[in-house]
Chain A
Amino acid sequence: MSSIEVTNLQKTFQTKRKAAGMRGSLRALFKPEYNTVEAVRGLSFQMEAGELLGFIGPNGAGKSTTIKILTGILHPTSGDAKVLGFVPWKERQKLAYHIGTVFGQRPQLWYHLPAIDTFMLFGKIYELDDCETKKRISFLSEAFEIRDLLETPVRKLSLGQRMRCEVAASLLHRPKLLLLDEPSIGLDVVAKQHIRDAIRTMSQEEKVGVLLTSHDAGDLEALCRRVIIINHGQIVYEDKVSNLKRKFLTRKMVEVRYAEEVPPTFSIDGVEILKVGSYGVKLRFDTTKTPVDAVMAHLSQAGELVDITVSDPPLEEVIAKIYTANSVVE
């Protein structure tokens, strides 16, 4: 059974255009001109119940607009969508009982009060009885490791701690579907891992479907089975994450630091050296052409390693690669 069905969804905004300076301001005052921004352009996709679906794309791709349409906050310009059988913008309040949302850049917890107060308030808002709310808070505080944070005013929490509380709060009413809009934005590596682990556990234990938007390919690899990549409001790729990894996330970026100086002529066969510093090297290679273990062996033989960082290519690069692949196919 589908939890989300989207058909030919479109959303356009009008934004005011103004030239620089006083002249531009006066002109905009008397003769305003508008740009039409097509945030979402004919989006169609489905999401199965309990699925972990990644919805990724660069900034301004239309991810957040789509999520806001799916939660009923924004009305689409045209097209259809059903979330858990509800038309979101027509039945927003009914739908709200069955979904949880987290907008990574916005707080839903009351800033000056301890998170426990917001949890108790949400219990009332979602019409849970006090006993059930307390049981649920106890369960979530274990799952998200927030027991010791609940009585601290939210403003005193670190971003990572706050985000764990935010996601836990959105699960208080046992939603069937969790819509996460950039939940890991601004978090450090450890905090990201914490959030990802907790989301994965909750999804497995409570069969909550998760639609996750992110511009971090790491979120996708850690959490999702299927991915939809959008750019300029359109789907540019839709497949299993394993296929995406095999086809497009094959290039790895590695940064190493050595205890002793690196010779400027440093090189490894089949590896693109991006930068050689006094004590460090930055390189990039394609895992389908050059085996990872061969590169690692070469790096460790070159000197005493002090630090190493392996990262995926930025999403923009992956999208560019998808476009190239598509145009070759066409």
Chain B
Amino acid sequence: MKKYLSILTMQIINNIAYPGDFLGRSISIATFIFIFAGLWGTTFTIANTDAINGLTFPNMVWYFMMAETLELGRPRINRTISEQVKNGEVAYILNKPYNFLLYHFSAGLGDGAVRMTLNLIVGSIVAWILAGAPPAPLGWLMAFVTLIGAWILHFCFMALIGLAAFVVEETNSFELIYQKLVFILGGFLFPLDMFPTWLQNIAYALPFPYMMYAPARLFVKPDVDLFWRMLGGQAIWVTVFVFILAFVYQRSEKYLTVNGG
């Protein structure tokens, strides 16, 4: 376990090696929140209402802040794996005494921890200025608890896409499809509350809401029933995808070709 903690720490150190780049990243989240706050502000004004499907303007801005923190903070592990396969670096990752997937999980967590922390700080300042005080402490607590499952699920998807690089090398197209599914059915662009019931039902039957909607929605409107439902859903999907990932990894190892060999 110690070795994985060291990999995580090393990735954090690596991330803060360039403070300029580190701070520069925060500009994008500030810009996105500013634009979305403008769009939602106009929508609420035109609709002449305080709440749409139970969510107020401050709810929307803080929801988007949490969703954007996740989206921009999650490391693109598939790109790392794909790059390592293409440039042959995967040879070094595979011949060390650690589990390949746990290595990427730890490195990704180190990377994500730095990015998400920074996004959360900058995003909260901007959201506070544009939409007023942040959600209640219970919202923060529920968001952080569901963030764990959301992160593991995201890792499973990214790693599955990354493992495709063992066979096809280039995985950008798979990532794009995945990203759009999270944007729509995961509730990134709009909270699922905005969808008609039939579309909500379809979304809930898939893993995507548990990766994005769960922490963002519970953050702005903490709800004990929803919290347990989301945790339950995450537990099921994490179990399913961890098994799929382990199986696919075992199979794909045999197909690996390392460039430059």
Binding site for B on A (CB under 8 A): 13, 39, 64-65, 68, 71-75, 92-94, 96-97, 99, 101, 103, 105-108, 110, 112-113, 117, 120-121, 124-127, 153
Do A113 and B14 touch across chains, with their CB atoms under 8 A apart? yes
- What are 29 A-B interface contacts by the 8 Å CB criterion? A64-B261, A65-B261, A68-B258, A68-B261, A71-B94, A72-B95, A73-B94, A73-B256, A74-B258, A74-B261, A75-B254, A75-B256, A92-B94, A92-B95, A93-B97, A93-B99, A94-B97, A96-B95, A99-B95, A103-B88, A103-B91, A106-B92, A108-B92, A113-B10, A117-B10, A121-B10, A124-B3, A124-B6, A127-B3
For B17, what are the chain A residues with a Cβ–Cβ distance below 8 Å?
Answer: 112-113, 153
B172 — which chain A residues lie within 8 A by C-beta? none
CB <8 Å contact, B10 and A101: no
- Tell me the minimal C-beta distance from A147 to chain B in angstroms: 22
Decide: B95 and A101 in contact? CB cutoff 8 A. yes
Whole-angstrom CA separation of A75 from B257 in the bound complex: 9
Q: Given A112-B18, A121-B6, are A64 and B260 neighbors across the interface (CB < 8 Å)?
A: yes
Evaluate contact between A112 and B14: CB separation under 8 angstroms: yes
B253 interfacial contact with A, CB 8 Å: yes
Give 1 or 0 for each of B68-94: 1 = CB within 8 Å of chain A CB. Answer: 000000000000000000011111101
Shortest distance between the CB of A121 and any CB in chain B (Å)? 5
Residue B7 at the chain A interface, CB threshold 8 Å: yes
Counting chain A CB atoms within 10 Å of each CB, the highest count among B88, B92, B95 belongs to B95
A-B pairs with lowest CB-CB distance, top 3: A124-B6, A96-B97, A108-B92
B243, CB-defined interface residue at 8 Å: no
Alpha-carbon distance A93/B100, docked complex (angstroms)? 10
Question: Which residues of chain B have C-beta atoms less than 8 A from A126's C-beta?
Answer: 97
Q: Produce 1/0 per residue, B223-261, CB < 8 A to A.
A: 000000000000000000000000000000110111011
Q: Closest CB-CB distance, B102 to chain A, in whole Å?
A: 11
Bound CA span A71–B256, Å: 14
Q: Which residue of B lies closest to A67 (CB)?
A: B261
Please report which residues of chain B, range 87-127, place their CB below 8 angstroms from some CB of chain A when the two chains form the complex. Answer: 87-92, 94-99
Chain B residues positioned under 8 Å from A65 (CB to CB): 261
B109 to chain A, nearest CB (A): 15
Chain B: CB-nearest residue to A40:
B261
B92 touches A113 (CB 8 A): no
Contacts of B96 in A (CB 8 A): 96, 125
Judge if B13 is at the interface, Cβ distance under 8 Å: yes
Q: Which residues of chain B have C-beta atoms less than 8 A from A13's C-beta?
A: 257
Give Cα distance in the complex from A121 to B256, angstroms.
26
In the complex the two chains form, what is the Cα distance from A65 to B260 in whole Å? 9
B residues near A74, Cβ cutoff 8 Å: 256-258, 261
A105 touches B88 (CB 8 A): yes
In the bound complex, do residue A93 and residue B87 qualify as a contact, i.e. CB atoms below 8 Å apart? no
Say whether A101 contacts B92, CB under 8 Å: yes
Chain A contacts for B13, CB-based, 8 A: 113, 117
B95 adjacent to A71 (CB under 8 Å): yes
On whether the beta carbons of A121 and B7 are closer than 8 Å, the reply is yes
A184 to chain B, nearest CB (A): 16
Q: Could you mark each residue 2-14 of chain B with 1 if its beta carbon is under 8 Å from any beta carbon of chain A, else 0?
A: 1100110010011
Between A65, A101, A124, the greatest number of chain B beta carbons within 10 A of the residue's beta carbon is seen for: A124
> A68 contacts which chain B residues (CB < 8 A)?
91, 258, 261
A103 touching B98, Cβ below 8 Å: no
Complex interface: chain B residues within 8 A of A39 (CB): 261
With a CB–CB cut-off of 8 A, which chain A residues contact B18? 112
Q: Which residues from 1 to 54 on chain B have a C-beta closer than 8 Å to any C-beta of chain A?
A: 2-3, 6-7, 10, 13-14, 17-18
B59 to chain A: closest CB distance in Å? 40
Does the CB pair B98–A110 fall under 8 Å? no
Q: Which of chain A's residues has its CB closest to B88's CB?
A: A106
The residues of A that contact B99 with a CB separation of less than 8 Å are 93
Report B-chain residues with C-beta under 8 Å of the C-beta of A101. 91-92, 95
Complex formed: what's the CA distance from A126 to B89 in Å? 19
A153 to chain B: which residues have CB within 8 Å? Answer: 17
C-alpha spacing A120/B260, complex, angstroms: 29
Minimum C-beta distance from B9 to chain A (A): 8
Contacts of B253 in A (CB 8 A): 75
Q: Bound state CA distance, A72 and B92, in angstroms? A: 11
B260 — which chain A residues lie within 8 A by C-beta? Answer: 64, 105-106
A97-B97, A113-B14, A124-B2 given. 8 additional CB < 8 A pairs? A13-B257, A71-B95, A75-B256, A96-B97, A106-B88, A106-B91, A112-B18, A113-B13
Complex partner residue of B91 from A71, A93, A127, CB under 8 angstroms: A71
Least Cβ distance of A45 to chain B in Å?
Answer: 18
Interface digits, B141-159 against A, CB 8 Å rule (1 contact, 0 not)?
Answer: 0000000000000000000
Chain A proximity of B258: nearest CB distance (Å): 6
Is A110 within 8 A of B14, CB to CB? yes
- B residues near A93, Cβ cutoff 8 Å: 97-99
Shortest beta-carbon distance from A214 to chain B in Å: 15
Contacts of A124 in B (CB 8 A): 2-3, 6
Bound-complex Cα distance A65 to B96 (A) = 18
Q: How far is the CA of A72 from the CA of B10 in the complex (A)?
A: 26
- Give A64 to B13 CA distance when docked, in angstroms: 33
CA distance A293 to B14 in the complex (A): 56
